[in-house]
Every structure is written in structure tokens, then in C-alpha cells.
Amino acid sequence: MASSSETAVNDDAAHLLVVDDDARIRTLLQKFLTGKGYRVSTACDAAEARAKLDALAFDLLVLDVMMPGENGLDLARAVRARSPVPILMLTARSDADDRIAGLETGADDYLAKPFDPRELLLRVGGILRRAGAMAATSAPEVVFGEFSFHRGRGELKRGDEVVRLTDRERDLLATLAERPGQTVPRSALATDDAAPGDRAVDVVVTRLRRKIEADPANPLLLQTVRGLGYRLLADG
């Protein structure tokens, strides 16, 4: 059974790789996304996806979690170990543990099946915009509101004024600043020796909000993503 194809569109369009063992879904997503101006390749399993990734450069992977053989989580983990290509996970499961597992592999976002194709389009566009903004800047600083954080120096400033940080606050902010605008799971923000249920991350987030938020009780810059973790909303 043919499991992949490429549709010729604008050569400058973002190139997506859709990986799903369901031929119907692959065909529908390819047709829909191609109609929206993307170049789209497909793969029926992890092995075919690996072959495509070895041969071609992609701007985004749309990756199903539940596949026979090597599943989507394992493939995402392997891809992330060698490449920063953005990954959007598709999952038939919607509970927090599965979403967190996807994000912990290094995936940029997730979408639970069944989904409205228009929501998929919005997620794809959002991921590509964030990836493009990160690639377009060589500056080591992340700017959010009145603040800037220099990743190399671990220095937080409000205008020209240096804001004092504890080591734990600096580490947590640095982790968030590596993925501005993206959800970072709590487990990625916790220390290696943190016990299950440890609320230390929440305590550090609360302290940071007191330093960067106009109203810490209603944060705009350092947001909670319920059931998952936190994200830093950077400018641009």
C-alpha cells in the first residue's frame, strides 16, 4: 500500500511531515494542509519517517502517538536527540499524563483526536511562527514586557536595572527562556532530586512572578498551563 506522497506547491512553503498509521488520516491531512499552502509529505510508521528525515529537511513534524511498533513518543524522543525540528503530537488520549509525556519528549505542542482541522491549522501556524522567530534572531536575550533575560549570563533586567535572582529562580527562568511561548512541563522545571508531588517549582514560580508581574495574582508573562506546566510569553 502506498503510504506517502508529496504534492508540488510553492517551493518556499514550509515542508511538513505527517506521520500516522491511519491512511485515511494521512490523506485527509495532506489534502487539507496542501490546500492551505504547505508542502506535505507523509509516512505510515516510524521507519518510513526516519527514512524521510534522513533524505529531506522538514520544517515541522505532525506525529501520531499511537502507532504499532515504534510509537510516536519514542520517535519524537529520537528525533529531538538529533534535531531541533518542531514536533506537533497527535494523540487519541487527552488526559494530562499523556500530554505531559509528549511534551517531555521535546514536542512543541499536542492535539487530541478527534480534532477540528482548523485547530490543527492554527497550531501548525503558531509553532512555525515561534520557530521562525527563534531562528531569525541571533540575540541571546529573551524580552518579555519591560524585562529582558540574557541566557548566556543568566541576567534579568528591567530596562537597565539588574533584577536580583536566586540560583533556583535563574535556573527556572533559563529553562523557560529556552522555549519562549511554549509550554514547559513541571517535570522539566523540577530539580533532579524532586519527589513526586513536590511543590518547589510552584514556589519558585510564585517568587518570580512577584519580580516580573504587575499583578502576580493575575500573571500575563509567566502563565500557568493547567495540568501541564508553565510558559513564558516573550515579545515577538
Task: Give the whole-number percent of the chain exceeding pLDDT 90.
Answer: 37
Domain identity same for 75 and 153: no
Contact 45, 70 (CB under 8 A): yes
- pLDDT of 96 strictly over 70: no
Instruction: Quote the strand ranges of 65-177, DSSP E.
Output: 87-91, 109-112, 141-144, 147-150, 155-158, 161-163
CA nearest to 181, candidates 226, 135, 236, 137: 236
The region of weakest confidence among 10-19, 30-39, 118-127, 189-198 is 189-198
Residue 188: its pLDDT value, please? Answer: 79
Over residues 37-54, the mean pLDDT reads 92
Over residues 65-77, the mean pLDDT reads 87
Residue 135: its pLDDT value, please? Answer: 52
Is 45 inside a domain boundary? yes
Residue 178: its pLDDT value, please? Answer: 81
Residue 72: its pLDDT value, please? Answer: 87
Provide the number of structural domains found in the chain: 2
Domain identity same for 119 and 86: yes
Q: Label the pairing between strands 87-91 and 229-232.
A: unpaired
pLDDT tens-place string over residues 104-126:
777 888 888 888 888 898 888 88
Domain identity same for 131 and 26: yes
List the domain range (segments joined by +) for residue 120. Answer: 15-136
Domain identity same for 25 and 117: yes
Instruction: Provide the pLDDT confidence category of residue 129 given band limits of 50, 70 and 90.
Output: confident
The CATH number of the domain holding residue 19 is 3.40.50.2300
Instruction: Provide the pLDDT confidence category of residue 9 given band limits of 50, 70 and 90.
Output: low
The region of weakest confidence among 52-56, 83-87, 196-200, 205-209 is 196-200
Task: Give the whole-number percent of the chain exceeding pLDDT 70.
Answer: 84
**Residue 40 three-state SS:** strand
Is 149 inside a domain boundary? yes
211 vs 134, which has greater pLDDT? 211
Domain identity same for 117 and 187: no
- pLDDT of 128 strictly over 80: yes
Residue 187: its pLDDT value, please? Answer: 77
What is the average pLDDT score of the chain? 83
Domain identity same for 115 and 169: no
- pLDDT of 220 strictly over 70: yes
Over residues 45-52, the mean pLDDT reads 93
Is 2 inside a domain boundary? no
Domain identity same for 145 and 121: no
Is 126 inside a domain boundary? yes
Give the Cα separation of 233 and 176 in Å (integer).
9
Instruction: Provide the pLDDT confidence category of residue 182 given band limits of 50, 70 and 90.
Output: confident
